[in-house]
Chain A
Amino acid sequence: EVQLVESGGGLVKPGGSLRLSCAASGFTFETYTMTWVRQAPGKGLEWVSSMSTVNNYTFYAASVRGRFTVTRDNARNSLYLQMSSLRAEDTAIYYCVRDLGDYFDYWGQGTLVTVSS
């Protein structure tokens, strides 16, 4: 059974940093592109970042480029999102998703990040 479990969310002050983790199981992690999607409270979904298996190529939404860094550790079946220079508008539930090209077939339960002073 495919499982994606996010962790690392919490309350952080504006300008601060946070590192999210996603533990994957039930599939061959190293062969899949992995992605982060977020959802601000009461709002819609927003694609944040993806990391492919080909040369570990990375993609970022314009709203986070230069502030967020996605990495993966295939030996630990884990995906990470290092977030810095956090802003109030980064407050959201962050979902780890398995990416099959341009669609996402499995989603984690999400981890809440709150940016507030």
Chain B
Amino acid sequence: QSVLAQPPSASGTPGQRVTMSCSGSSSNIGSNTINWYRQLPGTAPKLLIYSNNQRPSGVPDRFSGSASGTSASLAISGLQSADEADYYCAGWDDSLNGVLFGGGTKLTVL
């Protein structure tokens, strides 16, 4: 079964660096690129990282992505209270012939 597994929660203090993982399989991360979306409370998601490690215009370099094998990760440095949000990884899955989203990680800034 095709799944992108994300830890349900993560936390950090202001200024800290936090990382979030996204674990998949050969049919998704292992053969396609991963993208990350951020959803602030009560708003629509926004693209944060695409093609594993590319930042859209306007996204600060505090945000970085990486992928290796069947896992991907998102790192946020210089954590701010405004970074409190849900973070989703997503990518094409060859078995599903469609886009697969992870379950999301809720980031809390303590």
Residue numbers in B under 8 Å from A47 (CB-CB)? 90, 98-101
Residue numbers in A under 8 Å from B100 (CB-CB)? 47
Task: Let me know if B45 and A103 touch, CB within 8 A.
Answer: no
B36 CB to nearest chain A CB (Å): 9
Residue numbers in A under 8 Å from B44 (CB-CB)? 95, 107-110
B30 CB to nearest chain A CB (Å): 14
B32 close to A (CB within 8 Å): yes
Docked pose: A50 CA to B97 CA in angstroms: 11
Task: Let me know if A102 and B32 touch, CB within 8 A.
Answer: yes
The interface-forming segment of B12-20, B46-54, B67-75, B76-84 is B46-54
Docked pose: A72 CA to B33 CA in angstroms: 27
Task: Let me know if B98 and A45 touch, CB within 8 A.
Answer: no
Chain B residues within 8 Å of chain A by Cβ, number = 26
B63 close to A (CB within 8 Å): no
A60 CB to nearest chain B CB (Å): 8
Query: Whose C-beta in chain B lies nearest to the C-beta of A110?
Result: B44
B21 close to A (CB within 8 Å): no
B24 close to A (CB within 8 Å): no
Docked pose: A46 CA to B102 CA in angstroms: 9
Given contacts A45-B90, A59-B97, contact A103 B102 (CB under 8 A): no
Task: Let me know if B98 and A61 touch, CB within 8 A.
Answer: yes
Docked pose: A46 CA to B99 CA in angstroms: 8
Task: Let me know if B56 and A45 touch, CB within 8 A.
Answer: no
Residue numbers in B under 8 Å from A95 (CB-CB)? 44-45
Given contacts A45-B88, A45-B90, A62-B96, contact A105 B101 (CB under 8 A): no
7 residue pairs of the A-B complex, CB under 8 angstroms, read A37-B45, A37-B101, A44-B104, A61-B96, A104-B45, A105-B50, A109-B44
Interface residues of B (CB under 8 A from A): 32-33, 35, 37, 39, 44-47, 50-51, 56, 86, 88, 90-92, 96-104
